[in-house]
Amino acid sequence: MITLLIGKKGSGKTKKLIDHANEAVEKSNGNVVVIEKGLKLTYDISHNARLIDVDAYGIQGKDALFGFLSGICAGNYDVTDMFLDSTLKIIGNDMEALEKFVLQADELMKKEDVSLTISVSAAEEEIPESIMKITSKI
């Protein structure tokens, strides 16, 4: 299942992501993974979550990001929740790429039984309809 946190810059998406990630850590019987661009969440995310900076691994673009998520699932059978901050910064501020990434990620998350929450810095009307149909919204 994929959940979207949608809103323009400064609308509180990252704060909501932090709250939901920390809540997931409390409820999960497995691992919670938080993926960010840069090291800005270090002191906000519970130390029980796995915090990963994509910049440390050179992840850029939708294909690299999808491969990274796939690798996390392949290497950790007990991941229950993933949180992805700054999605458009990672994939390149491209709605078509976002659409392709979300469709691929949706299949992966269903197969692996992992909940994925994605923050997207955009107005809701900018999000492709195909994404809105298969995701829930916070």
pTM of the model: 0.93
pLDDT tens-digit series, residues 85-112: 999 999 998 999 999 999 999 999 999 9
CATH class of 2-137: alpha beta
Contacts of 82 (CB under 8 A, 6+ apart): 32, 33, 34, 35, 69, 72, 109, 114, 115, 116, 117
28: phi then psi, degrees, rounded to nearest 5: -75, 140
Structure tokens of 15?
Answer: 């704060």
The answer to whether 12 and 29 have CB atoms below 8 angstroms apart is no
pLDDT tens-digit series, residues 24-63: 999 999 999 999 999 899 999 999 999 999 999 999 999 9
Q: What number of other Cβ atoms are within 10 A of residue 64's Cβ?
A: 15
Domain boundaries, the chain: 2-137
What is d(CA 21, CA 121) in angstroms, rounded to the nearest whole number?
A: 18
The reported pLDDT for the residue numbered 10 is 84
